[in-house]
Amino acid sequence: MANNSPAIDRVFHALSDQTRRAIVMRLSARPSAVGELFTPMPMALPTLLKHIRVLEDCGLVATKKVGRERICEMQPDALRATDAWLAQQRAVWDARLDRMEAYVLDLQTRE
């Protein structure tokens, strides 16, 4: 997997903001109307809509018009590439830590 994947960059950028992470957490429980997402947020509606647009652009959220409301729904498939990248990084660091542990144990037995 490439380290310079634009899709992964967009997901990490979207999740770098605490407001967007809060929106993702709310939507992971269930789809919600923009008005429901707006109620607990201490910001103007246009600002919230910009955050939702960032989440849409990276594929984490999809919106659809239902009557007079815009419903936001989490798209968990957008996290698959990011999860795979993180798993790859965990594997690299686990292997490094295992080698370091073996090295330290080897030094201890030599003493």
Residue 1: per-residue pLDDT: 47
Give residue-wise pLDDT tens across range 64-98: 999 999 999 999 998 998 999 999 999 999 999 98
pLDDT at 103 over 80: yes
- Is 59 exposed, middle or buried (CB count within 10 Å of its CB: 0-12, 13-18, 19+)? middle
**pLDDT value for 111:** 80
pTM: 0.78
Residue 35 has pLDDT above 60, yes or no: yes
Q: Which own/partner pairs from 52-57 qualify as long-range (CB within 8 Å, at least 24 positions apart)?
A: 52/23, 54/13, 54/14, 54/17, 54/20, 55/14, 55/20, 55/23, 55/24, 57/10, 57/14
Domains of the chain by start residue, with CATH: 6-110 (1.10.10.10)
